[in-house]
Structure 1
Amino acid sequence: MRFNFLLKENKESGYTLIEGILQLSVLMMFSQIFAITVGWLHKMEENVANPTEIEWYLFLQDVETYLNNVEAIMIQSEELGIRFRKNGEEFDIELYENLIRKQKNRLGHEQMLLNVKSILTTLEGNSLNFGVEFMNGIKKEHTFYVTFHSE
C-alpha cells in the first residue's frame, strides 16, 4: 500500500525546453521592437520639440516667400546678409546683434530668427546659400532658388 503512490501514472505535463526557447524568442523579438520604437520616439521628440529646428524651418519658409519675383539681389559686405529689391522696395535680411532681422527700405526691425551667432551668405547665379550658426553651436545651411521678375 505504501508504494501505491509511486506506481500512479503522472498525467501532468512539465515545462519543456522547446516551450522555453519559443517564449524566450518571442520576448526577445518584442524587446527589440520596443527598443527601436523608443529610439524612434526619442529622435522624433528631439526634432519636434527643439525650438531651434522649428524656428529654422519657419525662417526658411519666410525667406522663401521673399525670394520669388525679385528685381535685384546682392550680398551685403558691411552688414552680414542680403539686400534685394522687390516691387520697387528694398529689403534687407541681415545679422543684427544676436538675431537675423528684416528691414524694409532700411526702416523698421522685424525679427526673423533668434539666438544667431553668425551667418554666411553666398550667391551664385540664381542660388542663394544661407548658412547660420546658432548660439548653442548648431549649424544649419540651406540653398534658396531666387526667381527674378521678368517684364
Structure 2
Amino acid sequence: MQVNQYLKMKSIQLMEFQPHLLSIYCWRIINTSPVLNGMNIILRKKDGASMRRIIDSESGITLISLLLALSVLIMIFPLLNQMLSSIEKLNTSASIDTLAIEQFYYFLENELNHSEKITLATEKITFHRKDGSIVTYSKYEDKLRRQSNDLGHELLIFNVLSMKTFQLNDHAFQLTLQFRDGEFHEKYLLFPYLIESL
C-alpha cells in the first residue's frame, strides 16, 4: 500500500494528534521509515511547521501472538513425533510380530514355573506339570503350537522355519527360532529341577 493511501486511511488518527490540522492534504510527506509496530512518518506543512507521527499497524507481532504461536508448536511436536514413529512401524510391519514372540516366551516361562520336569527334543519341549498334565510346545508345519495332554492345539507363532533347543547345563537351555524371512530369535531359560534331553 502506498504511503499516501495509508495516510488517507489513517487521517482521523492524524487529526486526533494535531487538532488544529484541518486537512491531511495541506501537509507534505518528507520522510517515511518502517518501525516495529507501524510506520514513522515525518510531515511538513507549507509554512514550515513539521510533525512526526508513528502510525500503528495491525501487522505487528505482540507478546500474546508470540505465546500463542509457541503453544501451538509445543502441541504439534509430540504429535509429529508420534506420527513419525507410527510411519516407522509401518515400514517394519513385514517383520515378525515381536508381540507374538514375547507372548510365546511368557507362556514358556509360565510353564517353567508350574512344571516339575522338562524334556527337550530337537523341535519339541515337553513340560510335566505339577497337576499331572503334560504340555508340549512343538513345531507344526510352519507354526509353533501348544498342546495339552496331546489333545487339540493352540497356534502361537506363524512362519517358523525351525525351532531348536540346546541344553546348556542341568538347569538351563537355549531356544532358537528361525523365521521364513531370515530372522533369528534366541531365548535362554532356567529351570530349578533337572532337565532331560532325548
TM range, normalised to the smaller chain? Answer: 0.5 to 0.7
Matches within 5 A, 1:43-58: 52-58=97-103
Structure 1 residues 112 and 2, CA gap change in structure 2 (3 angstroms): closer
Q: Which structure carries more strand by proportion?
A: 2
**TM-score, normalised on structure 2?**
0.50
Q: Aligned pair 1:97/2:120, yes or no?
A: no
Q: Deviations over 1:80-117 (max 9, x none)?
A: 12223223444331112111123345x33412322222
Q: Aligned pair 1:114/2:137, yes or no?
A: no
**TM-score, normalised on structure 1?**
0.62
User: Relative contact order (alpha carbons < 8 A, sep ≥ 6): 1 or 2 greater?
Assistant: 1
Q: Aligned pair 1:84/2:127, yes or no?
A: yes
Matches within 5 A, 1:2-151: 4-6=27-29, 7=43, 9-12=53-56, 15=60, 26=70, 30=74, 33-42=78-87, 52-77=97-122, 80-87=123-130, 88-105=132-149, 107-110=150-153, 111-124=155-168, 125-148=170-193
Please, which runs of 5 or more residues in structure 1 have no aligned partner? Answer: none
Q: Deviations over 1:58-94 (max 9, x none)?
A: 32222222112433223203xx122232234443311
CA root-mean-square deviation: 4.0
Amino acid at match of 1:71: E
Q: Percent identity?
A: 17
Amino acid at match of 2:138: E
Q: Specify the structure having the higher radius of gyration (Cα).
A: 2
Q: How many aligned positions are there?
A: 140
Structure 1 residues 70 and 12, CA gap change in structure 2 (3 angstroms): same
